[in-house]
């Protein structure tokens, strides 16, 4: 059987061949511990890790010492949010997030709520955008933290992080940004936006799975977080454990080859072609949260009268998703689509097409044609239920 057309880039991007080459070269070196600086091989590994750290930090407008390595965005999210909550608990226990945050953020908030913290979910408009005035109104004297996702994984909406950071700084509220879906897709400059912490993940940006990073702002108020894991003193004692040298080399190469303009131009061209193909092949569709404030490589479409899960399961030639890969096994409607105003039925009839650097126009055309061919069967199943 031929491999399906892969259009699930928001779940995980393919590994860029240049990244694999960098990792292969790293794997061919002696597999030593970068913490073993008492011998030459250990120092060589340590220097390579620090060079990689500087490369990755530079890609987000930061310095090497601002970055700690993690296993991915989820771990970075947990370290940052729990750590900030603990550090500022004496000031207050009120925290804010947008209503379309990733489950990794919402789950940490739920755990903190059990510890006595109170949180407010900011509503979004029909495009998925946070209202700045509503953020201002939600901030209280006891508010210590706000978490806002830079680019949403389901609908691709881009939040105005700079304006949000300005409001948080004016009110002495720490801001955490989940940038897993924005790193490499849109420009990020931590020195300008002035958020306090940010999570990024390599496998969302053509790098390897299993490695990510947490940016921590040092000025004007340095975060002094507590670890969630305990062991050695690696990564400023915030993330103990032996560092994965080859994965870090791969993440650094992914950072090095970022070309936001070229990738945006490519995905914008693909999006235009996909919309034209959808109009021809599946005229009875609509695009959720369709605006200029989205990354072009994410298309969330609604197919009225169709169960999207049944459709995708019946279409072996296509690899797409209904929404977040982290909740694909949970039979609940998307909280993101609900937040932008879709009812349960509309959310259940929606699917996400996400594509990127390695996607071709022929692949998109082929995939949409395959979906269109299965729609009559999916519609008859939905009518019979």
pLDDT along the chain (385 residues), means of 10: 88 98 96 93 95 98 96 96 95 97 95 94 97 97 97 97 96 97 96 94 98 92 83 84 96 98 98 97 94 95 94 93 62 87 95 97 96 85 60
State yes or no: is 326 an active-site residue.
Answer: yes
d(CA 277, CA 282): 8
Q: How far apart are CA 244 and CA 25, in angstroms?
A: 14
List domains and CATH numbers for the chain: 5-14+259-384 (3.90.1150.10), 17-256 (3.40.640.10)
- Taking the C-alpha atoms of residue 199 and residue 71, their distance in angstroms, rounded to an integer, is 11
Q: Which of 97, 193, 313, 326 is catalytic?
A: 326
pLDDT at residue 325, rounded to an integer: 55
Q: Quick one: residue 274, left, alpha or beta (phi over 0 = left, psi -120 to 50 = alpha)?
A: alpha
Q: Give the number of C-alpha atoms closer than 13 A to the C-alpha of residue 97, restricted to the C-beta side.
A: 26
Question: What is the reported pLDDT for 237?
Answer: 81
């Amino acid at each position: 059987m031929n491999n399906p057309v892969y259009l699930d880039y928001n779940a995980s991007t393919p590994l860029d061949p240049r990244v694999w080459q960098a990792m292969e070269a790293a794997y061919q070196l002696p597999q030593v511990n970068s913490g073993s600086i008492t011998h030459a091989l250990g120092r060589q590994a340590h220097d390579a890790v620090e060079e990689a750290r500087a490369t990755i930090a530079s890609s987000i407008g930061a310095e090497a010492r601002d970055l700690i390595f993690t296993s991915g965005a989820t771990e970075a999210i947990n370290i940052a949010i729990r750590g900030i909550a603990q550090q500022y608990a004496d000031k207050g226990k009120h925290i804010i997030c947008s209503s379309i945050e990733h489950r990794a953020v919402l789950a940490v908030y739920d755990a903190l709520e059990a510890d006595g913290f109170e949180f407010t979910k900011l509503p979004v408009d029909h495009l998925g955008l946070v209202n700045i005035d509503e953020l201002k109104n939600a901030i209280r004297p006891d508010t210590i933290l706000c978490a806002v996702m830079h680019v949403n994984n389901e609908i691709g909406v881009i939040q105005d992080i700079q304006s949000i950071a300005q409001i948080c700084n004016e009110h002495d509220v720490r801001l955490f940004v989940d940038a897993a879906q924005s790193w490499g897709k849109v420009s990020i400059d931590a020195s300008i936006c002035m958020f306090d912490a940010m999570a990024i993940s390599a496998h969302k940006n053509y790098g390897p799975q299993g490695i990510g990073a947490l940016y921590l702002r040092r000025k004007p108020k340095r975060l002094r977080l507590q670890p969630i894991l305990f062991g050695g003193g690696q990564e400023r004692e915030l993330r103990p454990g032996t560092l994965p040298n080859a994965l870090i080399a791969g993440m650094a190469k992914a950072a090095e080859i970022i070309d936001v303009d070229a990738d945006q131009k490519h995905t914008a061209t693909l999006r235009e072609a996909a919309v034209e193909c959808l109009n021809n092949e599946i005229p009875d569709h609509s695009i959720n949260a369709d605006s200029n404030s989205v990354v072009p490589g994410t298309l969330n479409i609604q197919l009225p009268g169709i169960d999207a899960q049944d459709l995708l399961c019946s279409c072996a030639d296509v690899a797409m998703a209904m929404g977040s890969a982290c909740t694909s096994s949970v039979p609940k409607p998307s909280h993101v689509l609900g937040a932008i105003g879709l009812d349960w039925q509309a959310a259940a009839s929606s699917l996400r097409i996400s594509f990127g650097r390695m996607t071709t126009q022929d692949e998109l055309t082929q995939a949409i044609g395959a979906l269109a061919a299965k729609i009559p069967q999916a519609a008859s199943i939905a009518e019979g239920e």
